[in-house]
Structure 1
Amino acid sequence: MGGTGSVVLLVAALIVLIFIVVLVKAVQIIPQGSVAIVERLGRFKTTKQPGLCFLVPFVDRIRQRVDMRQQVVTFPPQPVITQDNLTVHVDTVVYYTVIDPKAALYGVANFIGGVENVTTTTLRNVVGGMSLEESLTSRDQINSVLRGGLDEATGQWGIRINRVDIKAIEPPATIRESMERQMKADREKRATILTAEGQRESAIRTAEGQKQAQILSAEGAKQAAILAAEAERQSQILRAQGDRAAQYLRSQGEAKAIEKVFAAIKAGKPTPELLSYQYLQMLPRMANGQASKVWIVPSDFGKALEGFTRMLGAPGEDGVFRYQPSPDDPAPAAVRPGDNDEDVEGWMDTTTDPEIARVVAAAEAEARGAMPPPEIPGFSARPQPGGPGPEPADGNGYQAPS
């Protein structure tokens, strides 16, 4: 009885195990971005999409899961001989996508190896027809030719080539050294050219600046010379006008002096004896003159003097001739200083020319704006009641002349 129960338990456990195995074989989960190739009894059955899928146990099986996302594969550097017989090593990167899983799995044994071989062959065909310099500067052209050749060759495998990039093109070491020397020489050449261009521009700018400075200096010297000449002309005109007025005033003063002296002589009623005495007093001064040292007194000088006295005067009771004014002589008029003719009135004008006054006022205003007026100890700038001008600080009434 106990042996029978053990057999039953063993059979039940075996049935459960078989059920679990069958369930595992029958139910599969396909992840997103992948598809599964299902074979039934060794032949292609169907392509399962991502998600839960059911298979016939022990009849259907998943041959391979194929990734449908874009793949990136990097191939090792491939030696390629250029048109000028130089061996370069080219690194390529291929971006591809599986669009037909059945064709990719059954059309070629190893589609990754196939893509690599097609890439190497196409690359050698393209780069072999170019020189080293062209291959180094024509990467976009090489990429487009590679993509077209690979896409055409892998289309039957259910693979689409999205992009092909040339990572690096390594020339031989000797060529790299010569290229580096050439690039160094080119950079030095460009640096020399740029330095020369900079020096030329600097020289041109300096010459232009010196030219402008000389032009401005010449203009300033010209304006200064014109202003100096104008100032000298105005100064000479003003000095000439002042000399003319001074000479006129001196001659007017001499005339007034002579007139007053003559009037005083007439008013003093001199006698012949007084005139003779004054003449004798003047003789020594006349003898001291630098012009002549010899004086001849005429013998009839006394008679001439006597006639002059008789003409001016009349004998008095004592027989001495004295000055007698004529009744027809007008009374001597009072001499007024400053009596001038109408045509010389302008000579005595001491007012400043308006143009000169404007220039002087502008200069003074500029000087006051540039530098404050100096402070004199003991004086203040308060105006006096009688007119403009600074007032002394001690208040003694003294006013500085303006």
Structure 2
Amino acid sequence: MGLFFVIPFVAFALILLFSVVKIVPQGREFTVERFGRYTKTLNPGIHILTPFIERVGRRMNMMEQVLDVPTQEVITKDNAMVKVDGIVFIQVIDAAAAAYRVDNLNYAIAQLCMTNLRTVVGSMELDEVLSQRDSINTRLLHVIDSATAPWGVKVARIEIKDLTPPVDITNAMARQMKAERERRAVITEADGEKQAAIARAEGAKQSAILESEGRKEAAFRDAEAREREAEAEARATAMVSEAIAVGDVNAINYFVAQKYVEAFAELARSPQQKTVIVPSEMSALVGTIAGVGELVNMTRQSHDAPRAPRPAAQQQPAPARRTAPPRATGVPPTE
């Protein structure tokens, strides 16, 4: 009989204990109702309620939550039909207001987002809707956050998740994008050809300038070489003239022999000569040199001999006597 009374008593005590002692986990808040009326909010931790008088009313999630906005069709300002959906991030700030000022908080916020989304998107053209998502998000956030503030809810952000225009508009946009890409490609190609032509023209200009400078430098160096060659020839001629004046036969022989050899060399280099026969005996060259030497000796003796004075009336210019120099007896070249 004693056990029969103890077991119900223990069960009643456990039920009473669990109904009085409440443990609130982190990120949650419980509302307390006394005879159906809200009295206070329990923060995370352990709490003891008045038995049979107080009870937990609502268990509110105080963490940030993500709500899905269902897909809906919206008509834009330029009468284009688009499908729009999104997501909204909310956080309960006041547990009592969120519990007792609105029924089914998540559903209410979702419906509020859908209606405002139709309003915002409907006031814009299709191109603006597709290119100004940030503007749509900002406008929706401002409107919905103001509307949910009395509910004790803070809307953190709203994002447009998907925008789907009709198929025909999508195809037109694809063609437009393709045409724009082709236009950019043609412009880029033309610009490249222009730059290449400019580079080639600049290269040709630089090449012409360098070539003209090269010709100028070559002409200057050729002129300088000819000038130096002429100076050397003049010095050689002056030295030979001085040697002839003093009667140096060796210098005369060297000069004549050099010219003779140069003449044979030019004859051999002539493009019209296929065969050149050089005489085996160079006696003609020696004879020519000896004849020139004799001519020089005679000229010097005639200048050194004294002349008898003549009267002025009888002095008449005697005809000049010319003596032909001996010819060289060389054999002419034969083809």
User: What interval of TM-score do these two structures reach, taking the shorter chain for normalisation?
Assistant: 0.7 to 0.9
Output one character per residue of 1:369-401: Cα deviation in whole Å (capped at 9) or x when no partner.
Answer: xxxxxxxxxxxxxxxxxxxxxxxxxxxxxxxxx
- 1:51 aligns with 45
Specify the alignment match of 1:218 in structure 2. Answer: 212
Quote how far apart the aligned CAs of 1:254 are: 5.0
User: Percent of pairs identical after alignment?
Assistant: 39
Match among 163, 166, 170 for residue 172 of structure 1: 166
Correspondent of 2:126 among 129, 132, 138: 132
User: Is the counterpart of residue 79 in structure 1 residue 73 in structure 2?
Assistant: yes
Tell me the SS of whatever aligns to 2:83: strand
Q: How far did 1:47 drift?
A: 0.7
Find the aligned partners of 1:178 and 1:83 in 2 and give their Cα distance: 18
Alpha-carbon contact 2:120-2:139 (below 8 Å) kept: yes
Greater Cα radius of gyration, structure 1 or 2: 1
- Tell me the residue number matched to 1:385: none
RMSD: 2.1
Q: Tell me the residue number matched to 1:299.
A: none
Does 90-99 or 245-254 show the bigger shift? 245-254
For 1:85, what is the secondary structure of its paired residue?
Answer: coil
Work out which of the residue numbers 139, 148, 151 in structure 2 matches 1:154.
148
1:25–1:56 CA contact under 8 A, matched in 2: no
Equivalent residue number for residue 242 of structure 1? 236
In structure 2, what is the Cα distance between the partners aligned to 1:186 and 1:88? 24
Secondary structure, counterpart of 2:11 in structure 1: helix
1:3-402 alignment runs, 5 A limit: 7-254=1-248, 258=297
TM-score normalised by length of structure 1: 0.61
Mapped partners of 1:253, 1:23: distance in 2: 156
**Residue identity matched to 1:52:** I
Equivalent pair of 1:90/1:168 in contact (CA under 8 Å): yes
What code does the residue aligned with 2:196 have? S
What do the CA deviations read for 1:151-194 (whole angstroms, capped 9, x no partner)? 12111111111211112211111111110111011011111111
How far did residue 251 of structure 1 move?
A: 4.1
> Secondary structure of the equivalent of 1:38?
strand
Distance 2:232 2:78 in 1: 97
Shift of residue 231 of structure 1? 1.2
Q: Secondary structure at the match of 1:124?
A: helix
Assess if the C-alpha contact under 8 Å between 1:127 and 1:135 holds in 2: yes
* Runs (5+) with no aligned partner, structure 1: 1-6, 263-285, 291-402
Select the structure with the greater relative contact order (CA < 8 A; seq sep ≥ 6).
Answer: 2
Q: Aligned-pair distance for 1:23? A: 0.9
State the 4+ residue runs in structure 1 displaced beyond 6 angstroms. none
- Mapped partners of 1:34, 1:138: distance in 2: 37
Partners of 1:57 and 1:213 lie apart in 2 by 106
Residue 24 (structure 1) shift: 1.0
Deviations 1:49-99 (A, max 9, x none): 110011223432222211112222222222111011111111212111111
Partner amino acid, structure 2, of 1:207: A
How far apart, in 2, do the equivalents of 1:74 and 1:12 lie?
53
* 2:247 counterpart SS class: helix
d(CA) in 2 for partners of 1:20, 1:156: 40
Residue identity matched to 1:221: R
Gaps of 5+ in 2: 250-292, 302-322, 328-335
Which whole-Å CA distance do the structure 2 matches of 1:52 and 1:27 have between them? 7
Letter in 1 for 2:104: N
The whole-number CA distance in structure 1 between the counterparts of 2:248 and 2:5 is 172
